[in-house]
């Protein structure tokens, strides 16, 4: 065999060996791994499907979610829907630069969110400024230390590969989905799991003895955005106001 052929074969074997040895360096970083940690939710995610706590209905041209409200809170909801039909929709938190709250963080869609893990807590951040911290090493704070919060006091524990997140003290916000009301007795329990590499499953159950006749549950499926980075996002809108008659308007100038 000629020297040229031997050199060629040797180079091919060497190249193959290096490829096997350093395959992780040349692999597509966005490809699905053969194995993954189902307890690791790190990454950027967005709502792909689901997220509603009830069936849709429509009245006077306004689409809404049907909830099992108590009479008191059904009256509040009916008024908000009537206002929307009259061209004066309920002002959501975002229009006045207030946080949307924990109930909508994983089930409300909109901007993407990013999840970070530490040994003692998990942080969920939304691109438009919402955030939640889930404490893994303690119970709920004593009642004397609790106050009405938008994202509440959240504690987490693992059941197999499912993270159970229990959130109380949600009196800072006043709506479930941007329109439907809830009370300061709202209690949110979320079961978060990663059944496949590219799927985050969130089963959220909301109970509220003041506002709801029985608990409601939403199922949300989130998908990863592996090449997504957050953009800087902050709220500066202080011009959406209501006039003396309660109708929405915009303030110009100082």
Domain that holds residue 19: 1-29
**Is residue 19 domain-shared with residue 69, that is, in the same domain?**
no
- Pairwise CA distance, residues 174 & 186, whole Å: 10
> What's the pTM?
0.80
Q: Residues 70, 177, 163, 98: what is their CA dihedral angle, to the nearest 10 degrees?
A: -110
Residue 179 to residue 100: CA distance in whole angstroms: 11
Q: Are residues 16 and 94 in the same domain?
A: no
Q: What is the pLDDT of residue 11?
A: 40
Task: Assess if residue 85 is contained within a domain.
Answer: yes
**Residue (of 196, 117, 227, 124) closest to 167 by Cα position:** 124
Query: Is residue 23 pLDDT above 90, yes or no?
Result: no
Same domain, 7 and 113: no
Sequential DSSP letters for 51-92: --SS-EEEETTEEEE---B-HHHHHHHHHHHHHHHTT-----
**Which CATH number fits the domain that encloses residue 80?**
2.40.128.20
Closest by Cα among 201, 208, 204 to 187: 208
Confidence bin at 24 (pLDDT 50/70/90): very low
Q: Is residue 130 domain-resident?
A: yes
Do residues 87 and 167 share a domain? yes
pLDDT of 84: 92
State the pLDDT at residue 252: 53
- DSSP for residue 116: E
Residues 20 and 49 in one domain: no
Distance CA 226, CA 142 (A): 39
pLDDT, tens only, 102-123 = 999 999 888 899 999 999 999 9
Q: Model confidence over 175-232: pLDDT tens digits? A: 899 899 999 999 999 999 999 999 999 999 999 999 999 999 999 999 999 888 888 7
User: For the chain, what is the domain count?
Assistant: 2
């Amino acid at each position: 065999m000629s020297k040229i052929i031997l050199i060629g074969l040797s180079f091919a074997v060497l190249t193959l060996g290096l490829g096997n040895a350093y395959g992780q360096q040349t692999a597509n970083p966005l490809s699905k791994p053969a194995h993954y940690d189902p307890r690791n939710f790190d990454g950027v995610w967005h709502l792909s499907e689901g997220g509603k706590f009830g069936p849709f209905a429509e009245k006077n041209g306004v689409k809404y979610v049907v909830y099992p409200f108590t009479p008191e809170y059904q009256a509040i909801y009916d008024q908000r829907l009537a206002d929307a039909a009259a061209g004066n929709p309920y002002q959501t938190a975002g229009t006045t630069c207030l946080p949307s709250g924990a109930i909508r963080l994983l089930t409300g869609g909109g901007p993407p969110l990013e999840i970070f893990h530490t040994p003692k807590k998990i942080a969920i951040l939304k691109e438009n400024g919402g955030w939640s911290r889930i404490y893994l090493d303690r119970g709920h704070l004593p009642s004397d230390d609790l106050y009405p919060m938008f994202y509440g006091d959240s504690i987490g524990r693992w059941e197999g590969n499912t993270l159970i997140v229990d959130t109380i003290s949600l009196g800072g916000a006043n709506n479930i989905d941007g329109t439907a009301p809830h009370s300061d007795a709202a209690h949110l329990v979320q079961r978060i799991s990663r059944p496949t590499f590219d799927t985050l499953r969130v089963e959220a159950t909301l109970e509220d003895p003041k506002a709801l006749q029985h608990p409601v549950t939403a199922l949300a499926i989130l998908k990863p955005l592996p090449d997504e980075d957050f953009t800087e996002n902050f709220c500066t809108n202080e011009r959406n106001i209501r006039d003396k008659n309660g109708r929405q308007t915009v303030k110009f100038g100082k």
